[in-house]
Amino acid sequence: MSSTPGISIRTARLSDALAIEGITSLYAEKGYMLKRAPENIIENIRNFFVAEKDGSVIGTCAISFFTLRLAEIRTLAVLDSFMRCGVGSMLVRQAEEVLREEGVTTVFVLTLSPDFFLSMGYREVKKEMFPQKIWRDCTNCPKLMACDEIAMIKELDRPESRTSE
């Protein structure tokens, strides 16, 4: 699956929780994402993916299901030293693949990096399209009344309709 030599993507394990918390905390401190408590990461560990190089976690993202056909890709974070190396793209592609296998047809993100997601085939939409997200996650966000994130969506093709690469 790796398109960058020496980097692999896999489902997170419990032993990755502290590394995930460390990477996401760096982004939270900069105001790019909400801080994830270690117990929240542990509770949701099977929804996380990690990018690994030489046995160290260098990036992460998670999926969150909202309906049988709608899911979110969230908590995308890559260590600065591995930015612009394709790690984020690898993580998003892995998340999308798992969502396809689960039968999800629509995936969305809330992001401060719309150009990255545009390059991955997402398009901008209004946040109001996702009231489930707003009620479940956004009500506790300090930015609720002044949210600067951009909502983006992508329709996923079904596994049997894709051609082999």
If DSSP states are collapsed to H, E and C, what string results for 57-126?
A: EEEEEEEEECCCCEEEEEEEEECHHHCCCCHHHHHHHHHHHHHHHCCCCEEEEEECCHHHHHHCCCEEEC
pLDDT at 159: 60
Kindly indicate the confidence band of residue 160, based on its pLDDT and cuts at 50, 70 and 90: low
User: Taking a C-beta distance cutoff of 8 angstroms, is the pair 107, 72 a contact?
Assistant: yes
32-43: average pLDDT: 87
Q: What is the CATH number of domain 7-157?
A: 3.40.630.30
pTM metric for this prediction? 0.84
- Domain positions in the chain: 7-157
